[in-house]
């Protein structure tokens, strides 16, 4: 058998060899830290110079509107923004505290053995998680008072009902997300810990307070912190019911002075500062709850200990007397006949009280179901029958010559916006997520800046930025549909970038190193090895993000996009007396779409993650 004789080596053209040498030299220079910082500084300086002195905005900037007294209205609009920030903080703190308490109860209820409690908690969480916050605010503000008497309505409206309806709606909405986070934290605790607590003589409340909840909250601080941040940003929606919080204040400044760029920039910076402060506080909480050896405790751990020392002492003073009152430990292992009899009576009273509470909860649940059923039957459903097609497709297919996209609107517009946003933002998130993980600062720092700015700003502010100011940069008119879709795409891209980063980081580092040793370059490794495995883990989170962006299409209402919420509000303004029928139907449509997608996400999550034993309390 003849041997194969290798041919002469392939010789590249001289120009290509020189090009490859120059690329290698440039690559080595770009790996130097000082070169990366210099290039970023030059690039940032070039942007500042271009937009500061070269680019023609067709707009005269006047930043003094934020720190001087306006001669026409005799007020300082910078102070107006700070007053709006104060109200934003108030709404955030009250709703966060209420959501944490309610979310803890709902999370425990979802793990309860008592089926009525389990079913009620599950229905509550699923409904409010899968309905847009904007629709819920409209329901509490416009529809709920219609179910009350005239005297009760006047009593509510005379007591700042706008503020309390927004705070209540925000609390309910956030609690449904916190309940899932807390439930996941409870399920992460080994079942043997609860059984060991019961076997040691602890009752339900003692085991919950001293063992289960401390361990669960220690594990869920990062996702719970994200919910606190989302709650702060969601407070910007209170403006739609007339609450003068920060977003409302910025729009008020714009309407009075026509200085929208300055007002929106000021509000955005305040939101970013507030996001950074909340993140720092939550980071301190996370450091305080971490169990670290004394020799490894850095300055951050000691600072966290110092900051939370007063709260821990206050909690100890409050919790110990309550625990002593609920269950006082015996002074000895032997009981006198009187003590034994009293202990038996006490045990019997607890069981009777438990049965009474279960019976009361069941009776209250049946009454609520009866009242809801009677109320739904009494609604005027002919209004929905006459306008149901309008809610779905607006005027399609009988559109006029000036109608956008053949007269589409309503639910079909919301679905179309969400599909475009999630499709385009997936590629944005993929690129930004890979850049976020790069070692080169030329890629990592811009990606980090984009992610942190977008994630620290409420979506409604991003929509205002795109709608009012993007046409200035591109020198062309943008339809409100494309303005809202671009804002949703940019906003979702930042969240998907973090999902991509988390999925890639879950792939063992050894696989990347093994692929490098075989001669594959970075792009080949990512395309053939890392990303196929990471995408498998990212699919449930991506579906969850699609649900979130579908609900967020309701925010396009604020700039007049003919999506489902805007059409519903238009019908309510025209009919005037049927808000219950309209908002109940719209909430049902959103719920059907979002819950169907959440079922798909759960099915994917069960297939792609190992099963866990369900902890029952």
The string of DSSP letters for 39-102 reads HHHHHHHHHHHIIIIIS--S----GGGGTSB-TTT-SBHHHHHHHHHHHHHHHHHHHHHHHHHH
**Three-state SS letters, 422-470:** HHHHHHHHHHHHHHHCCCCHHHHHHHHHHHHHHHCCCHHHHHHHHHHHH
Mean pLDDT of 126-130: 92
- Residue 123: the pLDDT is 92
pLDDT in tens, 384-397: 888 888 888 877 66
Query: Is residue 563 in some structural domain?
Result: yes
Query: Is residue 66 in some structural domain?
Result: no
* Cα 257 to Cα 613: distance, rounded to the nearest angstrom: 60
In a shared domain, residues 437 and 573: yes
In a shared domain, residues 458 and 523: yes
In a shared domain, residues 460 and 537: yes
Question: Percent of the chain, pLDDT > 90?
Answer: 32
In a shared domain, residues 193 and 244: yes
* Cα 323 to Cα 329: distance, rounded to the nearest angstrom: 10
Mean pLDDT of 331-348: 72
CATH number (domain holding residue 139): 1.10.3720.10
Mean pLDDT of 284-298: 73
Residue 615 DSSP symbol: P
In a shared domain, residues 94 and 122: yes
* Cα 251 to Cα 234: distance, rounded to the nearest angstrom: 16
- Residue 512: the pLDDT is 81
pTM: 0.87
Are the CB atoms for 561 and 554 separated by under 8 Å?
Answer: no
- Residue 253: the pLDDT is 92
Mean pLDDT, the chain, rounded, equals 84
In a shared domain, residues 27 and 125: no
- Residue 611: the pLDDT is 47
pLDDT in tens, 416-455: 999 999 899 999 999 999 998 888 888 999 999 999 999 9
- Residue 613: the pLDDT is 44
Burial 473-492 (b: 16+ CB within 10 A, else e): eeeeeeebbbbbbbbbbbbb
In a shared domain, residues 469 and 524: yes
pLDDT in tens, 532-564: 888 877 887 888 888 899 999 999 999 989 899
pLDDT in tens, 228-273: 999 999 999 999 998 999 999 999 999 898 888 899 999 999 999 9
Least-confidence region, from 26-40, 188-202, 430-444: 188-202
Query: Is residue 26 in some structural domain?
Result: yes
pLDDT in tens, 204-232: 777 777 788 778 877 788 788 888 999 99
Instruction: Say if residue 614's pLDDT is above 60.
Output: no
Query: Is residue 593 in some structural domain?
Result: yes
- Residue 72: the pLDDT is 87
- Residue 328: the pLDDT is 53
SS3 367: helix
Instruction: Say if residue 576's pLDDT is above 80.
Output: no
- Residue 56: the pLDDT is 81
User: Which residue, of 257, 291, 325, is where some domain finishes?
Assistant: 291
Instruction: Say if residue 340's pLDDT is above 70.
Output: yes
- Residue 42: the pLDDT is 93
pLDDT in tens, 78-112: 999 999 999 999 999 999 999 999 999 999 899 88
Which residue in 366, 494, 378 sits closest to 436, CA to CA?
494
Query: Is residue 317 in some structural domain?
Result: no
Sign for the CA dihedral angle at 151, 155, 157, 162 comes to negative
User: Backbone phi, then psi, for 69, in 5-degree steps?
Assistant: -80, 125
In a shared domain, residues 40 and 170: no
Least-confidence region, from 275-289, 392-406, 421-435, 505-519: 392-406
Q: Which domain holds residue 357?
A: 345-377
- Residue 315: the pLDDT is 67
Structural domains counted in the chain: 4
In a shared domain, residues 405 and 473: yes
In a shared domain, residues 48 and 83: no
150 or 84, which is more confident: 84
Instruction: Say if residue 293's pLDDT is above 60.
Output: yes
pLDDT in tens, 343-383: 788 778 878 888 888 888 889 888 888 888 887 788 888 88
SS3 410: strand
Query: Is residue 110 in some structural domain?
Result: yes
- Residue 420: the pLDDT is 93
In a shared domain, residues 155 and 262: yes
Query: Is residue 616 in some structural domain?
Result: no
The first and second tokens of residue 465, run together, are 């930025």
* Cα 569 to Cα 398: distance, rounded to the nearest angstrom: 22
pLDDT category, 2, cuts 50, 70, 90?
low
DSSP letters, 164-230, are: HHHHHHHHHHHHHHHHHHHHHHHHTS-HHHHHHHHHTT--HHHHIIIIIHHHHHHHSHHHHHHHHHH
Query: Is residue 562 in some structural domain?
Result: yes
Sign for the CA dihedral angle at 339, 342, 346, 347 comes to positive
Mean pLDDT of 480-490: 93
- Residue 389: the pLDDT is 87
In a shared domain, residues 37 and 86: no
């Amino acid at each position: 058998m003849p041997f194969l004789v290798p041919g002469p080596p392939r010789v590249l053209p001289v120009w290509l060899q020189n090009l490859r040498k120059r690329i290698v030299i440039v690559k080595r220079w770009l790996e130097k830290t000082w070169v990366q910082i210099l290039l970023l500084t030059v690039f940032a300086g070039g942007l500042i110079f271009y937009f500061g002195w070269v680019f023609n905005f067709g707009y005269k900037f006047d930043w003094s509107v934020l720190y001087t007294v306006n001669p026409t209205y005799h007020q300082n609009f910078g102070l107006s923004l700070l007053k709006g920030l104060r109200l934003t903080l108030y709404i955030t703190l009250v709703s966060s505290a209420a959501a944490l308490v309610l979310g803890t109860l709902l999370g425990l209820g979802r793990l309860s053995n008592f089926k009525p409690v389990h079913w009620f908690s599950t229905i509550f969480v699923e409904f409010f998680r899968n309905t847009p916050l904007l629709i819920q605010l409209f329901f509490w503000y416009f529809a709920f008072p219609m179910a009350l008497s005239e005297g009760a309505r006047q009593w509510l409206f005379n007591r700042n009902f706008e503020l309390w309806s927004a705070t209540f709606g925000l609390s309910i909405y956030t609690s449904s997300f916190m309940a899932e986070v807390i439930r996941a934290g409870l399920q992460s605790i080994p079942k043997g810990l609860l059984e060991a607590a019961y076997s040691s003589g602890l009752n339900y409340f003692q085991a919950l307070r001293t063992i289960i909840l401390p361990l669960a909250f220690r594990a869920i601080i990062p996702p719970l912190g994200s919910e606190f941040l989302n709650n702060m940003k969601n407070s910007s929606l209170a403006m739609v019911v007339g609450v003068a919080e920060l977003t409302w204040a910025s729009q008020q400044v714009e309407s009075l002075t026509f200085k929208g760029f300055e007002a929106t920039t000021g509000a955005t910076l305040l939101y970013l500062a507030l996001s950074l402060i909340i993140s720092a506080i939550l980071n301190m909480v996370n450091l305080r709850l971490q169990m670290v050896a004394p020799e490894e405790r850095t300055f951050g751990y000691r600072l966290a200990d110092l900051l939370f020392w007063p709260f821990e002492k206050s909690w100890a003073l409050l919790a110990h007397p309550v625990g002593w009152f609920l269950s006082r430990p015996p002074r000895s292992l032997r009981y006198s006949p009187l003590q034994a009899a009293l202990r038996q009576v006490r045990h019997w009273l607890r069981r009777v009280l438990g049965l009474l509470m279960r019976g009361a909860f069941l009776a209250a649940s049946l009454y609520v179901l009866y009242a809801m059923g009677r109320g739904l039957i009494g609604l005027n459903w002919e209004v929905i029958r006459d306008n149901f097609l309008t809610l779905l497709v607006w005027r399609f297919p009988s559109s006029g010559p000036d109608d956008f996209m053949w007269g589409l609107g309503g639910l079909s517009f919301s679905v179309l916006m969400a599909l475009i946003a999630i499709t385009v933002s997936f590629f944005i998130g993929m690129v930004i997520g890979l850049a976020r993980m790069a070692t080169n600062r030329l890629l990592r720092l811009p990606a980090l800046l984009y992610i942190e700015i977008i994630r620290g700003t409420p979506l409604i502010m991003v929509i205002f930025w795109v709608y009012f100011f993007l046409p200035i940069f591109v020198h062309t008119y943008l339809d409100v549909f494309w303005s809202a879709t671009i804002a949703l795409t940019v906003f979702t891209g930042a969240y998907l970038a973090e999902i991509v980063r988390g999925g890639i980081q879950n792939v063992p580092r050894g696989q990347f190193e093994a692929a490098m040793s075989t001669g594959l370059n970075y792009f080949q490794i990512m395309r053939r090895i890392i990303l196929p495995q990471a995408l498998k883990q990212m699919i449930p989170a991506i579906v969850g993000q699609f649900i979130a962006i579908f609900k967020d299409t309701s925010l396009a209402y604020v700039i007049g996009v003919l999506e489902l919420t805007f059409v519903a509000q238009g019908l309510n303004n025209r009919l005037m007396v049927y808000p219950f029928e309209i908002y109940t139907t719209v909430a049902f449509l959103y719920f059907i779409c979002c819950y169907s997608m959440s079922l798909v996400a759960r099915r994917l999550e069960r297939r792609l993650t190992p099963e866990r034993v369900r902890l029952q309390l």
